[in-house]
Chains A and B, each alone.
Chain A
C-alpha cells in the first residue's frame, strides 16, 4: 500500500531547518541572546546606529587616482545609493565620513586634518588605496600615510581599489557603526594626550578657541 505524505508547508520547513542548524551549537547564554534578538528588543541606540549606518553623508573629497574610482561608485554599476550613502556633501560640516581617495602629500596633510577636525562627531574615515594607507608604490619623501595624522576606521587596499572593494570597505564600516563602536573617535581609539583644549583655558567658556589671539598659523 502506498503511503501518501502531505508536502511540508514552507514555514514548517524553515522552522525545521533553523532547529537543525542550532542543534548542539548554542550554549545557554547564546541561546538567551538569540532569543533576545529574535524578539527584537531594539533599543533607541540600536535603532539610531542602524539608521546611521545606512545613511552616511560622505564628503566630496578627491585627492588622486582613487577619486575617479570613488566617483564611479555613484555610477550605475556600483550604485552606492543602494546603501543610502549617495548624498555626497561638499562641506565637512554636513559630512560624517571622509574617504581619503589618493595620495596624501606632506603639503596636503594639514589641510586634511583641518577638514577632519571640522567634521562633526560622530565621524568616520576610510583610507582608500595603498597610497594613503602605506604610501603605496611611491614610498618616498613627499608622502605621508594617513594614520600618522588622523584616525582611520577602514583601510581599503588596492592601487586603485576597484569600486567593489570600496563597497566592501563601506560595508565593513557599516557593520562597525551598527555594532557597538563608540561614537567619538577619541573613545574609539583611546586617543588621550592630544586634546586641543589648552590647560590654562577658561573652563567657564562653553566654546574654547584652540588658537591663541593673534595666532594666524593655519588660518
Chain B
C-alpha cells in the first residue's frame, strides 16, 4: 500500500477526527459533525446511484423520514433517543425497500421522476399532516444527555456519529467487495445481462434501495438530534441536489469519493451560508461542470496521480480519460 494511498489518508483523517473536539470551537464541532452526517448520506446514495445504477431522487426524503420518525417517536410517545434512533433508521429502510418495487418496472428517466414525485409527496405529508408532524413550522426534539460520561451533548453526539461513520464505511467497503457489490455493478451495467447470469433483480435492487434508506435514515436520526429541531425545509429538493453534488464531486461509484465529496460540499456550503441564491448557483453549476469535465470526480484525479486510490469495482466508463470512448456510446439505443 502506497504511503499516500486512501487507506493511510483515511486512517490519518480518522485519527484527526478523534481529537477534533479537544481544540475545536462549538461552530467547528458543528461543521465537523455535519460532515460526518453527510458522509453517511453520500455513501448510501452512492451505493444506490453509483454502484447499483438506480437514478433515484428519494434520498432527501429518506433522510427526512429518518429525522421525523426519530423526532416524533420522542415527542409523541416519549421514546428515549436510544430507541427512537434505530426505529427511525428502520422505518427509512422499510420505505426504501418498498421503493424498489416501482424500480423493478421502471428505469432511467422514469425511475428518476417517480422517485422525485415520491420525494415531493413526502414533503407534502410533512407540511400538511399537521396533527402529527406539526406542519411547516417544524418541532423541537428533546436533547439527549450522555449522563454517566463526563462529556457535553455536542461532543457526545460527535463521537457517536464518528463511530457510526467508521462502522458504516467499513460495512460499505465490505458490501462492495462482496458478491452483493458485484451484483449491483452487473445490474447497473446491463439488467438483462445481469438477470441472465442469475442475478435476482428484485433482490438486489431492493437491497440497494434498502441499504441507501438505512444510511439516510441513520443520518436523519443523528441530524434531528444535532439540531434538536425538525422542519420540512431541511429535506427538500435543494437537499437532494446537495447530496447529488456530493457524489458527483467526490466520485460516482466510489466510497472514498463519497467521503471526499461530503467534506468538500459541506465546507463550501458553510462558506456560502449567507446567500441562498448563491448556494443554488454554485452547487447547480458544480454539478454541471463535474458532469461535463470531470466525470469521475475528485477521486479520479487522485487515482491517476497518486498510488493506492484504486478501489474494487471502479467504473472505467465514468473515468475522466478523454481518449477512451465511453462504453455507452457504442450501444445502440432502441428505436423509439
Genuine A/B complex = no
**Residues of A participating in the B interface, judged by any CB pair closer than 8 Å:** none
